Amino acid sequence: MMTTKNKVQLIGRMGMNPELNTLPTGTKMTKFSLAVNEGYKNSQGEFVKQTFWFNLVAWGKTAEAIVKNFEKGSEVAIEGKLQSHEYADKEGIKRRTIDILVSQIEKYESPEPKVAPVEFM
């Protein structure tokens, strides 16, 4: 039997202040964006930086903790899963988005850059 897994891990910076929303059912939720930087060397040997943006959503106690403890610019490590969401836009056209449903989040502190030893003569 084949087992499938839906798991996402990202480290990045929050692109907006998360706001807590309470649905008519009383359920609490928040949405925010996360910027993840990566890079590569091009054919000329130059480093090219790329930023990828992801939409994240959290529910319940996780949402409350995010709003209380994090803000725009916070560097965080998240774990979650992909979830597809379908909606109708203003013209009634069906659209589909893929968000990351956050299950865990923690403050991330970048490791100190390693400095090459200096030789004294």
Structure tokens belonging to residue 17: 């202040």
pLDDT for 108 beyond 70? yes
Range of the domain at 83: 8-38+50-107
Average pLDDT value for residue range 18-46: 94
What total of structural domains would you count in the chain?
A: 1
Q: Residue 66 falls within a domain, yes or no? A: yes
At 53-99, the pLDDT tens digits run: 999 999 999 999 999 999 999 999 999 999 998 999 999 999 999 99
Greater model confidence, 120 or 33: 33
At 37-50, the pLDDT tens digits run: 998 889 998 899 99
Q: Residue 62 falls within a domain, yes or no? A: yes
Q: Residue 95 falls within a domain, yes or no? A: yes
**Close Cβ partners of 38 (under 8 Å, ≥ 6 residues apart):** 49, 50, 52
- Whole-number Cα distances in Å, 112 to 5, 20, 75, 115, 116: 33, 33, 14, 9, 12
